[in-house]
Chain A
Amino acid sequence: MSSRRTAAGGRIDRLRTIRFTFDGRAYAGFQGDTLASALLANGVSLLARSFKYHRPRGVLTSGIDEPNALVTVLRGDIREPNIPATMVEIYDGLVAVSQNRFPSLAYDVSAINQLGGKFISAGFYYKTFMGPVVGPLKGTRFWMLCEKVIRRAAGLGRAGLAPDPARYERMNAFCDVLVVGSGPAGLAAAREAAASGARVILTELDPQFGGSANWSGETIDGEPSKAWASDIVGELRDHDNVRLLKRTTVWGYYDGNTLAAIERVGDHKDAPAKGAPRHRHWTIRAKNVVLATGAFERPLVFPGNDRPGVMMASAAQRYANLYGVLPGEKIAIFTNNDSAYRAAVALNKAGATIAAIVDVRPEISEDCRALARQCGAELLVGHAVVGTAGGKKLTGIKVAQFAIAAGALPSGGHNIETDCLLMSGGWSPTIHLASQAGARPLWNEALQAFLPPEAGQGWIGAGAFNGTFSTADAIAEGFAAGRAALDLPRVEPGTPHVEPAPLDPRPAPVFEIRAKGKAFVDFQHDVTADDVRLAHLEGFVSVEHLKRYTTLGMATDQGKGSNVPGLAIMAEAVGKPIPEVGTTRFRPPYAPVSVGALAAERFGDLKPERLTPMHDWHLENGATMYSAGLWFRPMIYGEAGETIEQAYVREARTTRETAGIVDVSTLGKIAVQGPDAAEFLDRVYSNVFSTLAVGKARYGLMLREDGLVFDDGTTWRLGEHDFLMTTTTANAGKVMQHLEYFLDVVWPELKVHLTSVTDQWAGAAIGGPKAREILASCVTGTRVDNEVLPFMGIVHGEISGAPVMICRLSFSGEMAFEVYSGAGHGTHVWEALVEAGKPCGMVPYGLEALGTMRIEKGHVTGAEIDGRTSARDLHLGWMLSKKKPFIGSAMMDREGIVAPGRLELVGLISLDNRPLAGGSHVVMEAYPENPHGSLGHITAACFSPALGKYIALALVSGGKARHGSRAHVSDPLRGRFGPVEIVSHHFFDPEGKRMHG
């Protein structure tokens, strides 16, 4: 291992070497390392190129707030871009690559962008690519020209195109208390809540519970803090009422105390456990929430603050204490507060030389001076870092005196040789979830930070989240929060004794050192302090506009480190205090969430689908299936060598010549029951149902409230108070909703119950000249002749021992019967019918033949009932009762609905003997070069075996008046133009002789 790895310490397993590659080069790390810690240990300081300027970037932080070191992780063909190296746990065989560079990370041609700094500053896109088109190089046209190049040069990683085979899952959880964050405050809260027997969920986004206790180096009541944390986690593990979720990021806080979290179950393994998901998405409904999410250390804004080797002080401390890695050998510190002094001591203890501590404050405490002495650092109080040196690696810094009151720098300064600069600009409590849940954050002048707003829903804060930076106080707050979350009586916690004693958490109000050079505020989006000032100069006042104009805080890190410095610079430019400038509201997600986890299992093989009882029979007998909504239905039962048209023509012709059978189980079926069922149907149908006799069925038409047609179907009266309504397959759900609405809201006084019984019944429609004969040969317990079973009559009997209900009705126009059996008997009855039909040559037919026969008969379906047609448009005006009101009756005679010239249903016959297609326009004359003047459009088309012609149904202005006239179809998309004759929609057997026998 390199000299950057300390001899001992950290939570890594030094006995377990892990091998991985970065940009094709092999490296080794230890079990427990992140990609960032392992690369740092290997002396790698250049990990990425920046978004816009392609500046070399290293690791800035040690956690989820990392803006620089974004990498792409490869698993076979699967590439997952934009993952912070600080969050990638290494495993044997890990392959990671850098991104946004060409041809290599070290030599990136787009680094030339750095020379165009002023040209591509904030607002570059707006100024360059928006506005009127003037000449060839302005506006949208220019953007179209440049887009590909710009998109390739600027941005993040490239997403892969290969399908992701990983499993993703969703999980629902309920608890009394959700504790977010497992640092000292979170652990104390979880322990206290769990002790009362409440259901507790504790989440931690890192691989280990404990938060800062793992790396702070403190002792709590005499015990090393990480051992203290480990003991509590052990205790919690023993509770049945506690669920511990590590590697879990709570990313969204929604109404009703519903929180969203993502658990990275398998990302740290080379292969997931059998059946385990890669990510599990948690929806947690918590009675109360304890937010113990800690705080982020803020960067300072000064020229060159993005050079590889510049890092947050707390991150360096964490690398040293958690991973046994030194980010540099000769380290300098730049701070505006006390906390960095502890980091200096920790790093010195781990083996690093502390070259200097540069503090902007003119005065510091004696404690800090002692710590500086302890680590042997040169102490430069009242100084600031005004520049950094080096290329892809820090080699030194320039330091100058700094007058904090004026914020000014005298000229001059001196250089300090260093390979690592640690900075600390104060701390921002991680208030994202609280912000998502409620009001705007509140500015705290002492801490120079936004603190959580007053709780708007059931959450309580604890620890650094509240701005409480002392570990002892954080534990006490956690204890109190754990009790308060359960409304337990307050008790005074015994404040633990924590060593060393806390330092002063208040930083100096210094966010930026103004000197020559690019000083970055938002590292990930390459937003500089000058960009913020430019936005102000260009008239942007609102912080929301600043954000959008500069894109500050809009990168994948959501401005975790940049928001406050950005606001401070804006406030200074505007001349207002920070709270008056305000802050933006944090929105979910707190951190990026995989789309796979959101979609979970609802795709591919696991997408829900509906199958009829005879589904397997259809497949076994050569049906080609297609989807109709969630249902799967036979399209054709093709024979060898047949085209689709040949198959459906054969099926339809055979049905008209002898008999055919079709699966109609998908029709919506609703049981309408109760003493007021008949009255209810009179109100929802346009025609009368109360006069329908028991044992009879009637075709019904429903209108919407606006008077247009909604749905149609037959309804069977099975008993005095018992109806079976059928709907179209597509509209079953909508009709059910429509009926339930009226029953629940408009007519609650009606005693009617509605139940979906679609799945209770298997339906087989058998039609054709031989249909009755076939049925008679297999039905027992009833006759099916005209006397017992007239048109629209219903009988009950048995087929092959299974009870059936038969209604004589026809969609095909043939003598036809719908045979309903219990769905569990569906295939049994179907097979008996098919067997009985064999002597006559009966065929099963699919939806194409069904559609063909209905077009020949001029029967309407969803293609014609398209939400724009009235009953009269479809020549169903005879179904509009004048004896009673019904839904839609008040609106069906509106001027627009009865206006002349509306599209009406007609038939079309192709005169050039070529197929017609749905969606084609009907025009008087076809002008392929200039299509115009549509009379209407085709709704459905087929080849009619009965007529021997290509025919279609169409909605055409003028309707009946055009019967016998000629027109043309115009279908420019498919290049189809040709003459048609407009005829009645009743192409075949208009008198219905075949149907009535």
Chain B
Amino acid sequence: MVEQQSPLEPVFRPGSHGNFADGVGVTLSEIAPCSIIQLAAWPGEEKKLMVVIGSVTGLKLADGAGAGASSDRYSAFGFAPGKFLVIDASEGLATTLAAKVAPAVGTVTDLSHGRIAIRIEGAKAEWVLGKLFAIDLALAAFPLGSGISTTHHDIFTLMQRSGPQRFDLYVFRSFARSFWKMLCHAADEVGYEVR
């Protein structure tokens, strides 16, 4: 299979950038998972869809808005009523899920090319993201594994907390370069490393 080309290529500059007076505030990276799949359930069928997600990924999602979970290979979280994003480091997840999600339960949409995944990690991750999103990112308000849909300027973003100081952001591919520039700009103040 042909490898996907990153839209960040010309602006992805590994190394250290910004103000290091107090050390590296955040690390920025592109995760580049092979599968980014949207699952959407018809009203009342959400639980069945969560069972499918569990059976395929092994991730058990709790009830409630934005609940999510991660493993080494998979991540999944709810981002809207009855809607989930499921991420797999490997290819083929769309086909697997399409075979398991009955039309009476919901739909499967492959977004593996349509979104890119950017990770921000570090002591200043909440501070930097606070510049972009009107979301309460405190651990108590946005616990580990949970996800949310939000927007910065015109850029729709799905976000999952994948660690106490780590967030994975799923952004429309066409906006990726703009978003990356904004993220780097926001991180300038605290010093950032691109990996």
A283–B132 CA distance with the chains assembled, in angstroms: 11
* Contact across chains for B189 and A275 when beta carbons are under 8 A apart: yes
Is B136 in contact with chain A by the CB < 8 A criterion? Answer: yes
A602: nearest residue on chain B (CB-CB)?
A: B153
Query: How many angstroms between the C-alpha atoms of A822 and B115 in the bound complex?
Result: 11
Contact B189 A605 (CB under 8 A): no
- Cβ-defined contact, B107 with A753, below 8 A: yes
A323 to B157 CA separation, bound complex (whole angstroms) = 49
Contact with B along A160-192 (1 / 0, CB 8 A): 000000000111111000000000000000000
The answer to whether B185 touches A608, judged by C-beta atoms less than 8 angstroms apart, is no
Known: A273-B21, A601-B186. 15 other contacts (CB 8 A): A172-B134, A274-B188, A274-B189, A275-B19, A602-B153, A611-B174, A671-B109, A721-B107, A758-B114, A760-B173, A800-B2, A822-B4, A822-B113, A823-B113, A823-B114
Of the candidates A273, A608, A800, the one whose C-beta lies within 8 Å of that of B175 is A608
Q: Knowing A274-B18, A800-B2, A801-B2 touch, does A608 contact B141 (C-beta < 8 A)?
A: no
Given A273-B21, A612-B174: A757 touches B109 (CB 8 Å cut-off)? yes
For A273, the chain B residues whose CB sits under 8 A away are 19, 21, 189
Q: Closest residue to B106 on the A side, CB-wise?
A: A753
Q: Is A751 an interface residue (CB 8 A)?
A: yes
- A800 CA / B154 CA spacing, docked (Å): 35
**Residue B130 at the chain A interface, CB threshold 8 Å:** yes
Binds B, one of A135-143, A824-832, A969-977: A824-832
**Which residues of A have CB within 8 Å of B155?**
608
Any chain A CB within 8 A of the CB of B163?
Answer: no
B5–A277 contact, CB under 8 A?
no
Q: How distant is the Cα of A172 from the Cα of B133 in the complex, in angstroms? A: 7
Q: How far is B138's CA from A193's CA once the two chains are assembled, in angstroms?
A: 18
Contacts of A149 in B (CB 8 A): none
> In the complex the two chains form, what is the Cα distance from A762 to B133 in whole Å?
29
Which A-chain residue is minimally distant from B176 (CB atoms)? A611
CA distance A673 to B7 in the complex (A): 28
Chain B residues whose C-beta falls within 8 Å of the C-beta of A811 in the assembled complex: none
Whether A172 contacts B130 in the complex (CB less than 8 A), given A608-B154, A674-B107, comes out as yes
A157 within 8 A of B: no
> Is B178's CB under 8 angstroms from A609's CB?
yes
The smallest beta-carbon distance between B175 and chain A, in angstroms, is 6
Q: Which of B5, B107, B111 contacts A825 (CB 8 A)?
A: B5
Taken together as a complex, chains A and B put the C-alpha atoms of A609 and B189 apart, in Å, by 23
Residues of A within 8 A of B134 (CB): 172, 283, 285
Q: How far is the CA of A611 from the CA of B180 in the complex (A)?
A: 13
* Residue from A609, A759, A761, A825 in contact with B115 in the complex, judged by beta carbons closer than 8 Å: A759
Which residue of A276, A826, A827 contacts B189 across the interface (Cβ within 8 Å)?
A: A276
Contact of A613 among B5, B115, B175 (CB under 8 A): B5
Q: Chain B residues near A274: list those with CB within 8 A.
A: 18-19, 21, 188-189
**Does A606 touch B at the CB level, under 8 Å?**
yes
Does B118 belong to the interface (CB within 8 Å)? no
The verdict on A608 contacting B179 (CB below 8 Å), with A673-B109, A753-B40, A759-B115 known, is yes
B10 within 8 A of A: yes
- Which of B111, B130, B141, B191 contacts A173 (CB under 8 A)? B130
**B178 & A608 in contact (Cβ 8 Å cutoff):** yes
Residue numbers of B with Cβ under 8 A of A are: 1-7, 9-10, 18-19, 21, 38, 40, 42, 103-104, 106-107, 109-115, 130-131, 133-136, 138, 141, 153-155, 172-175, 177-179, 181-182, 185-186, 188-191
Chain A residue numbers with a CB within 8 Å of B179 are 608
Nearest A residue (CB) for B136? A174
Q: Residues of B contacting A277 with CB < 8 Å?
A: 189
Query: Is there contact, CB below 8 Å, between A824 and B4?
Result: yes
Give the interface centre of A285, A760, A802, A826 by most chain B CB atoms within 10 Å.
A760
Is A616 at the interface (CB under 8 A from chain B)? yes
Residues of the A chain whose Cβ atoms lie less than 8 Å from the Cβ of B112: 760, 822, 824
A199 contacts B by Cβ under 8 Å: yes
Instruction: Assess the B190–A630 pair: CB atoms within 8 A.
Output: no
Distance in Å from the Cβ of A558 to the closest Cβ of chain B? 27
| CB-based closest 10 A-B pairs | A824-B4, A275-B188, A760-B114, A822-B113, A275-B189, A274-B19, A174-B136, A610-B174, A759-B173, A823-B113
CB-based contact A757/B111 at 8 Å: yes
Whether the Cβ atoms of A675 and B103 lie closer than 8 Å is yes
A823 to B172, CA, bound (A): 11
Judge if A104 is at the interface, Cβ distance under 8 Å: no
Instruction: Assess whether A759 is in contact with B138, with CB atoms less than 8 Å apart.
Output: no
A697-729 Cβ-contact flags toward B at 8 Å (1 or 0):
000000000000000000000000100000000
Report how far A827 CA is from B5 CA in the complex, Å.
8
The distance in angstroms between the C-alpha atoms of A607 and B42, with both chains bound, is 37
| Interface of chain A residues 753 through 768 with chain B (CB within 8 A) | 753, 755-762
Cross-chain contact B190 with A275 (CB below 8 angstroms): yes
| Cβ distance A436 to chain B, nearest Cβ, rounded Å | 20
**Cα distance, A612 to B172, chains bound together (Å):** 11
Pairwise interchain contact A613-B173, C-beta atoms closer than 8 A: yes
